[in-house]
Chain A
Amino acid sequence: MFSSILQTLPQVLIDGLALGAIYAVVALGYTMVYGILELINFAHGEIFMTGAFVGTAVLFGFQGAGWLTGMPAWLSYLLIILIAMLVTGALGVGIERVAYRPLRKAPKLILLISAFGVSFVLQDVIRFIAELKTGNYIISTPQLFDQRYQLPLSSISSWFTDASVKANTLFIFVIAILLMIGLDIFVNRTKWGGAMRAVAQDRETASLMSINVNKVIVLTFFIGSALGGSTGVLFAQQYGTIDPYIGFILGLKAFTAAVLGGIGNIRGAMFGGIVLGVLEMFASSNLGILTGGNFGAEYKDVFAFMILIIVLIFKPEGIFGKAIKEKV
């Protein structure tokens, strides 16, 4: 049992890290919005999904125009991601304007319900457009990079079997790391980043210090949603098939990652995402072996939600979060 787990471990780690990187970047969006508005932006999972669809649509557009053959693949990949980021960023800002801003003084429950509403509307609108254009809402994405690299691990030690890495997976790592570092620098080093941190800490005081709170909130939504959208493109490229309902569960898991790392904490979100991705991959490939075939990979989502519940019960502030005393 132990040796068979160990044998597949390198492959599990690679796949888990790829999934974890995706979770981490989506979790950043949750964490940023939560940090500023104390709102769980449920529609964020759907923004991620929209990003995947926009990216695929642009890719089809490039294909149709015959640009793909003329352009180096990495350039078109970059262009697709940029376009998806712009579209989803704008979408995020629009959602904030329509569904959240009128409710800024309303009770939390109402905001949450509005967020659910947005997420359902987005799912159906995207399904409708996809079905209208292609006749089916489950879409397979053409892949820009389909090479695979073999890692000859078995020649290093007989403990492992060979693992393989998709070229796409490498892209995911590179882009995710670039996005995360970029965001970290933006938030911690720039003037606007400082304003964001100030608003997150105390909205009223920040507004007294001549910070335009509304602008900062809009910016936060733009950046968070653009990050989510770009990850959607990465996801579509990595896994090849997308449908309008991928966003919800993935969003939940990304939220779990954000909670795991301490919501509102950007570095925590990255850490939580990676941990959750690796754990989930490990569970999906090894649960069957560990339980003697009684419970298989279909329980991997149960596993993820269990982690969420356990973290919330025992350490609700997350691994990197600070406990907040409630004001009476």
Chain B
Amino acid sequence: MGKLQTMLQANKLAQGLLLAAFILVTAGAVYLIDRSVTAFLLMLASLLLLYYTSFSNGMKWSIAVFLLVIVIPFATSGGTSRESYMEVATQCGIYVAMALGLNIVVGFAGLLDMGFIAFFAVGAYTYGIFATGQANNFISGELFPLSGESFWIFILIGGFIAGIFGILLGLPVLRVKGDYLAIVTLGFGEIIRIIFNNLEKPVNITNGAMGLSSIQPPNLFGFQFTFPHQFYFIVIGILLIVIFAVRRLEHSRLGRSWKAVRENEIAAQSMGIPLIRTKLMAFAIGASFSGMMGVVFAAKQTFIDPTSFTLIESITILVMVVLGGMGSVPGVILGASLVTILNLQVLTEFTSWLNQLSQQGIFEVPNALSPSKMQRFIFGMILILVAIFRPNGLIAARNRRLPEEAVKDPSPPVSKSEVQPD
């Protein structure tokens, strides 16, 4: 076994063949078998397999994009359950982008934000208010709802407004640290939710607990996006941009400042890192990713109400980041996908399976124990177990290192930008 592993590690061709075979088998299974959750999960797992191959980065990216844009949509188009697969994939993408946003705040900058869903809500409501008749209540002139073509510009506006909210949250809480910051952000998330829940008077802005319904779906040159498999492409597009941005940010000057602040605030400050600006940037950028996905979410659901933005959602995103590995981009992507799939597919399938069993009288499962109700329990257990046994997450974060010789050898002058901290 060990021999086989070393042989595989050395031989890229064998890896490629194995990967191709795996993708072919799983994609074929998804295409041919109707409603097979296992096959679908295995097909997604090929992305993880791809991550562990020893191809060059560019190669990995091209294969990943090929898988995401062509293979997965095509394979799922075979059966009747296409929309439900695509729904899961779309939600997955939305959560991955959000988790990446939170990863900037928690993983890179070390600021524990427990109210992250608030920014998602801000993005969703930004689009929701203007893409329904709701805005007519406070802007005169019957200009609304805006047409679905405005969706594309609203992705940016939603991200921008969420970013502003991120700064607004950041400004007062910059003086608090650690545990206190967690509580304050948690309180902030609750404040936002309560406000959205009650802002129907004096001016009806959010329509209160009733929520906003019939939000305009996106529209591109007359083409209406309504089905999950159409949204999938929007989400993948945004997601690729977000991943690219995060990876570039991580190794930029700003990203290194974040990590420095995370490790030791005072030392970072004395090295000339502007503390306030660095922290605020983390809040703003993280929040704007979340806001963008909020807009997509609102357009996809065509209905939003405050119950989608509760504390448990904030915790869910935090679980994704912690489970995957704080500060590790591939880890967070893995964590977010795992948790979303667990929630949307595994738990619901398991619940319906148990229901079937108890209906047939084979095995009595009390309704109170139905797995979809045990979500909090499962999250709680994940949090405790990860904290105790894998505090660094599934894929631990690694910093880029400069080879030791390059530092010791004075002859080729090392330019500043190449030297990485740690």
Contacts and interface: CB of A to CB of B under 8 A. Distances in A.
Contacts of A301: 190-191, 194
B387 A123 contact: no
A117 B380 contact: yes
Nearest to B388: A102
B175 A313 contact: yes
A324 to B, nearest CB: 12
A110 B194 CA distance: 29
Interface in A76-131: 98-99, 102-103, 106-114, 116-125, 127-128, 131
Interface in B356-391: 366-369, 373-377, 379-388, 391
Given A99-B388, A299-B194, A313-B172, A124 B376 contact: yes
Contact of B384 (A118, A312, A313): A118
Given A103-B388, A124-B374, A252-B186, A117 B381 contact: yes
Contacts of B176: 312-313, 316
A8 B382 CA distance: 48
B42 interface: no
Nearest to A249: B190
A99 B389 CA distance: 11
Contacts of A313: 172-173, 175-176
A6 interface: no
Contacts of B326: 109
A328 B266 contact: yes
A30 to B, nearest CB: 11
Contacts of A308: 183-184, 187
Nearest to A128: B368
A210 B229 CA distance: 67
Nearest to A306: B191
A99 to B, nearest CB: 5
Contacts of B373: 124, 127-128
Nearest to A248: B311
B183 A121 contact: no
A305 interface: yes
A125 to B, nearest CB: 7
Contacts of B191: 301-302, 305-306
B230 interface: no
Nearest to A298: B198
Contact of A108 (B175, B179, B377, B384): B179
Given A114-B388, A299-B198, A302-B191, A121 B180 contact: no
A114 B110 CA distance: 16
B380 A119 contact: yes
Nearest to B264: A328
Contact of A113 (B172, B201, B387): B387
Interface string B162-205: 00000000001101101110111011101100110110011000
Given A255-B183, A308-B184, A316-B176, A109 B379 contact: no
A113 B180 CA distance: 14
B315 interface: yes
Contacts of A298: 194, 197-198
B112 interface: yes
Interface in A295-320: 295-296, 298-299, 301-302, 305-306, 308-309, 312-313, 316
* Secondary structure of the A contact surface, majority rule: helix
B318 interface: yes
B391 to A, nearest CB: 5
B313 to A, nearest CB: 13
A296 B368 CA distance: 35
A65 interface: no
B180 A125 contact: no
A3 interface: no
A293 B190 CA distance: 22
A132 interface: yes
Nearest to B326: A109
A40 B177 CA distance: 13
A120 B379 contact: yes
A121 B384 contact: yes
A117 B379 contact: yes
A150 interface: no
B322 interface: yes
A309 B187 contact: yes
A299 B193 CA distance: 11
Nearest to A296: B198
A326 interface: yes
B391 A106 contact: yes
A225 to B, nearest CB: 17
Contacts of B387: 99, 103, 106, 110-111, 113-114, 117
A109 B110 contact: yes
Interface in B321-375: 322, 326, 366-369, 373-375
Residue of A117, A121, A295 with most chain B CB atoms under a 10 A cut-off: A117
Contacts of A116: 315, 318, 380, 383
A326 B266 contact: yes
Contacts of A157: none
A123 B376 contact: yes
B202 A294 contact: yes
B384 A114 contact: yes
A39 B377 CA distance: 22
A290 to B, nearest CB: 14
B210 to A, nearest CB: 14
7 contacts: A109-B326, A117-B385, A120-B376, A127-B368, A305-B188, A308-B184, A312-B173
Closest 5 CB pairs of A and B: A117-B383, A120-B380, A121-B380, A305-B187, A131-B368
Given A109-B178, A122-B380, 6 more contacts: A103-B387, A103-B388, A117-B385, A302-B191, A309-B173, A313-B176
